[in-house]
Amino acid sequence: MTELLALGAKQKQESTQLPLFAENLDSFWDKEIRPLFTDESLCFKVKTRNGNHIKYVNLDNGATTTPFATLKQHVDEMLDTYGSVHRGSGQKSIITTREYDASRDVIREFVGSSSQNYVIFAKNTTEAINGAATLWAKKPGKILVSDIEHSSNLLPWVTRDEVVQYRTQPDGSVSVAEIEDIFKAHENRPEAERIKLLTITGASTITGYRPPIYEIAALAHRYRAKMFADVCQLIQHERVDMRADDDPCHLDFVAFSGHKMYAPYGTGVLLGPKEFFDSSYPYQIGGGNLPYITRNLEIKRFYTERAHDPGTPNAMGAIAIAKAIQIIEALGRDRIAEYEHSLVEFTYTRLKLIPGVKVHIPGDNLAHVIPFDINGFDGRLVAEILAQEYGIGVRAGAFCTYEYIRKLKNISDEQDCEIAKQVESGITRNIPSIIRASFAVYNTLEDCDRFIDAISEIARNGLDHYLPNYKQDETTGVWSVIDK
């Protein structure tokens, strides 16, 4: 870390606008973050196009994250005593069942949930929201959904229920007053026509924009609707608090994924009120989630979380999330937020000064991701160059947030129709895309510096410099290195 210390000192001298971390940035990383990850993952080397082996810089953390090392050890240990959950009387079964059930309490506490909420496991956020949407579809009323959602918080509702879409501002930000207008317009209609649930992201996957979810929750409750927040891009970065049930700003439902919070073991979580789940018929049924079936096929049900936990669960996934939570709590969520913010702000302030670079951050909503473009370049080519020439992983694409990206790229209705026509004929090349650098707690100032240097160089070199070495697939738009 000596290089990093020197770099940090140099950069602090260079700019008085650098964020001030309450404690020494390098020592926080060195002493507390670094030991949480294996050297193999932190120092993973990749071969670049010129044949060099260099340390990989992972700036694609909005997609998924590297597991905590101690979590790997913990899961390995738990596998030694692994047994059937809720179904056996042997010791291994008792140990695994105890740990599995205990993970629910850890999760509940982590999100400040009341004891009146169930913790339902799914394989990821997508499955958690599909589960919730299936149950909500049986209740009368409409779902209010924003137009900046990831498709995982849009399609499960759209395909099962009647949806009212809230159109955000041109930059994707939310006007609470406009949401209220929608509630008002539905307020005095028959129950089937009223808004029963509002669902919105806690943080945008593409810009990091954080809608004011607590204010929106208070509004939803005023109009007798429930509030669902997809917090899978928020919870690993900052505190999410569902709050007490009698707090008007409380979140009724939240969903998130273990793999985005350093626990990639195949589990996601849905939390919501007991009374909602107990009054809903489980959306998947079979072994383990009901106590009895009569000879006449009458099904007796549980009125516990088990009713919504069909089959043999992914116990290791649940245990892994709980362990990740304990590690995050020990590190301190506020310190994580401050540390990550320092890195993002450091990168953002430099990136936007590079000639030819356009950063797409609405207002001053800088969060944990930086979406940007370089003039004249297809974003997917930039991502490919970053990987092939600089050993830096980012992502370029539409990020499953098609309307938000249309807004950011000013795509007209005519262009939208043309793209759709092309997609129908198999051409996906012209779907708008953007480049996203997304940060996690294991990133360092050195990573940021390498990234900024790489982007400056790419922008300076210009497109023509790269075209002899890269080719684009006419149909998919994917870029690859030309073998010579």
Question: Which chain residues interact with ligand PLP by CB under 6 A?
Answer: 124-126, 150, 152-153, 201, 205, 230, 232-233, 257, 268
**Rounded Cα distance, 259 and 265, in Å:** 7
Q: How far is the CB of 268 from ligand PLP (least distance, A)?
A: 6
As given in the structure block, the two tokens for residue 454 are: 């790489």
Task: Find the shortest distance in angstroms from Cβ 240 to ligand PLP.
Answer: 13
Cα dihedral across residues 235, 236, 239, 241: positive or negative:
positive
CB of 314 to ligand PLP, least distance (A): 14
Rounded CA-CA distance 392/471 in Å is 19
Compute the Cα dihedral for 102, 106, 107, 113 and give only its sign.
Answer: positive
- β strands within 276-355, DSSP E: 292-293, 299-300
**Closest to ligand PLP by CB, 96 or 401:** 401
- Is the CB of residue 392 less than 8 Å from the CB of residue 404? no
Residue 230: CB minimum distance to ligand PLP, A:
5
434-438 and 142-146: which strand pairing? unpaired
For residue 256, report the phi and psi dihedrals to the nearest 5 degrees: -160, 170
Is the distance from CB of 100 to CB of 85 less than 8 angstroms? yes
Least Cβ distance, residue 259 to ligand PLP (angstroms): 6
Strand partners, 229: 200, 254
Give min distance, CB of 39 to ligand PLP, in A. Answer: 27
Residue number, 236 or 257, with CB nearest to ligand PLP:
257
345 alpha carbon, distance to own chain's centre: 20
CB of 371 to ligand PLP, least distance (A): 13
Q: Of 285 and 400, which CB lies nearer to ligand PLP in the complex structure?
A: 400
Least Å distance, CB 443 to ligand PLP, is 18
CA separation (Å) from 232 to 123, 175, 350? 13, 22, 28
Cβ closer to ligand PLP: 126 or 433? 126
Shortest reach from residue 126's CB to ligand PLP, in Å? 3
Task: Name the token pair of 361.
Answer: 């951050």
Rg (CA), the chain: 24
The rounded Cα 444 to chain-centroid distance in angstroms is 20
Tell me if 99 sits within 8 A of 319, measured CB to CB.
yes
CA distance 107 to 104: 5
- The residue among 398 and 454 lying less far from ligand PLP, judged by its C-beta, is 398
As measured in angstroms, the least distance from the Cβ of 223 to ligand PLP is 24
Q: Say if CB 399 and CB 209 are below 8 A apart.
A: no
Yes or no: say if 201 and 149 are a contact pair by the CB < 8 Å rule: yes
Amino acid (1-letter code) at residue 35: P
Q: Which of 65, 111, 146 has its CA nearest to residue 368?
A: 65
The CB-of-153 to ligand PLP minimum distance in angstroms stands at 5
Helix axes 445-461, 379-390, angle to 10 degrees: 120
The partner residues of 251 in beta bridges, in order of sequence, read: none
Among 195, 200, 143, 142, smallest CA distance to 173 is for 200
- The SS3 assignment for 185 reads helix
CA torsion through residues 427, 433, 439, 442, sign = positive
Residue 143 and residue 164 in contact, taking contact as beta carbons nearer than 8 Å: yes
Q: Which is nearer to ligand PLP, 267 or 342 (CB)?
A: 267
Residue 223 or 439: which CB sits closer to ligand PLP?
439
CA 238 to chain centre: 12
Least CB distance from residue 402 to ligand PLP, whole Å?
Answer: 13
